[in-house]
Copies of this chain bind each other. A is one copy, B any other.
């Protein structure tokens, strides 16, 4: 493992180990991250709310907490970013909406409370696509090329972690809002199994799909948060070897959308994993899965109809046309269509889970269509390679490591069955050093 020279370059797990050993203070880590932010924020614009003095004060307070043997969480003293449609009691939550410019929630979202109880603290709020759902884009720019999008809707969270500004940040995914930014920004990211993490305190778009996720700078960073969230099985993660690992390479029905960056990322991943002893075979998903992206779109907009009604009736003038259209059912989604979509997904879920067993450990599949596209004020990229997994409720992890034809990061996704999150993280831990030079 390479030895970073500055604390901001460390993963949360590396910083945590030093904090536990008293070789690094939370204040030093925080000041280093703040230096990185100061150097980069004018260009990357990941943050919509940040108070450096407050962050340093919080870090100092945590440095003063007495350590009893074994009693300190591995997240103690670690700063994290929060997507600005997740409520925070000590800083505003704008949803990037003109309806909520100074909105100060009274309560932290449950995920923020869980992180705080583990000794972590909120560095600040990360820019988001409006309501994580449409309308205005984030102002955030891709840290690898400011002319490109960082992806979205978790734009600021993905860019902040990918750029070393904060080791951990939270995002959300309804279509491809969490994993795609991980790919575009060279970050690790997990979208866990649906409903295994409390959504309470985050803004809903489509409850059947809305899933909290988090970014880190290594698989171990993802594990740190999973421990605080008491992910099922995280205390007994299996030892996984890449040698003999049965990997199913799923191009999915969306493969025609794969660009040079993603084709290269997948070819490289298949080659490196095979060289490391994995048994990689092509995996064709059953035919009904071809309709899951269409179904995801219908569920998202069908359920989104009621999630913006309160703003529609109270704040119509300030509500972006994208959300007015949802309330007005602009796409004419009938109950029959919505039921078709919900029931197709429900029927595919157990079929997908049953693919796993003695013949298959994990699925390898694209994280995005390719490198991050240009025109960040117009697009956050295409969620084609993410939507299906969100609708299936299955855990996915983005592994960075490949660079596309323009030198921009392109990740690959590992997917497992529902509630197989801990095992998927164990597999990701074994796979990451094979694919990511920084993890080798």
Chain A residues with a Cβ under 8 A of chain B:
104-107, 110-111, 113-114, 116-118, 195-200, 203-204, 207-208, 229-230, 232, 303, 306-307, 309-310, 313-314, 327, 335, 338-339, 342-343, 346-347, 349-350, 353, 418-420
Q: Which of B104, B113, B307 sits near A106, CB closer than 8 Å?
A: B104
* Interfacial chain B residues near A229, Cβ < 8 Å: 306, 309
Q: CA of A197 to CA of B113 in the docked complex: distance in angstroms?
A: 26
Q: Is the CB of A310 within 8 A of B199?
A: no
Known: A113-B313, A339-B418. 10 other contacts (CB 8 A): A106-B106, A106-B107, A114-B309, A195-B207, A198-B309, A199-B207, A200-B307, A229-B306, A232-B335, A346-B349
29 A-B residue pairs with Cβ-Cβ distance under 8 Å, sorted by A, are: A104-B106, A106-B106, A110-B307, A110-B309, A111-B310, A113-B310, A114-B310, A114-B313, A117-B310, A118-B313, A195-B208, A196-B306, A198-B204, A198-B306, A199-B204, A199-B207, A200-B203, A207-B207, A229-B306, A229-B309, A230-B327, A232-B335, A335-B418, A338-B419, A339-B350, A343-B349, A343-B350, A346-B349, A347-B347
- By a CB distance below 8 angstroms, the chain B residues around A350 are 339, 343
Q: Which residues of chain B have C-beta atoms less than 8 A from A313's C-beta?
A: 113-114, 117-118
Number of copies: 2
CB atoms of A110 and B349 under 8 A apart: no
Q: Are B309 and A339 in contact (CB under 8 A)?
A: no
Residues of B contacting A418 in the complex (Cβ-Cβ under 8 angstroms): 335, 339
Asked if A113 and B314 make an inter-chain contact with CB atoms under 8 angstroms apart, the answer reads: yes
Q: Which residues of B contact A230 (CB under 8 A)?
A: 306, 309, 327
5 residue pairs, one from A and one from B, having the closest CB atoms: A346-B346, A335-B419, A117-B313, A106-B106, A113-B310
In the bound complex, what is the Cα–Cα distance between A107 and B335 (angstroms)? 31
CA distance A104 to B106 in the complex (A): 7
A90 to chain B, nearest CB (A): 13
Closest to A350 in B: B343
> Closest chain B residue to A338 by CB distance?
B419
* Closest partner residue, chain B, to A106 (CB atom): B106
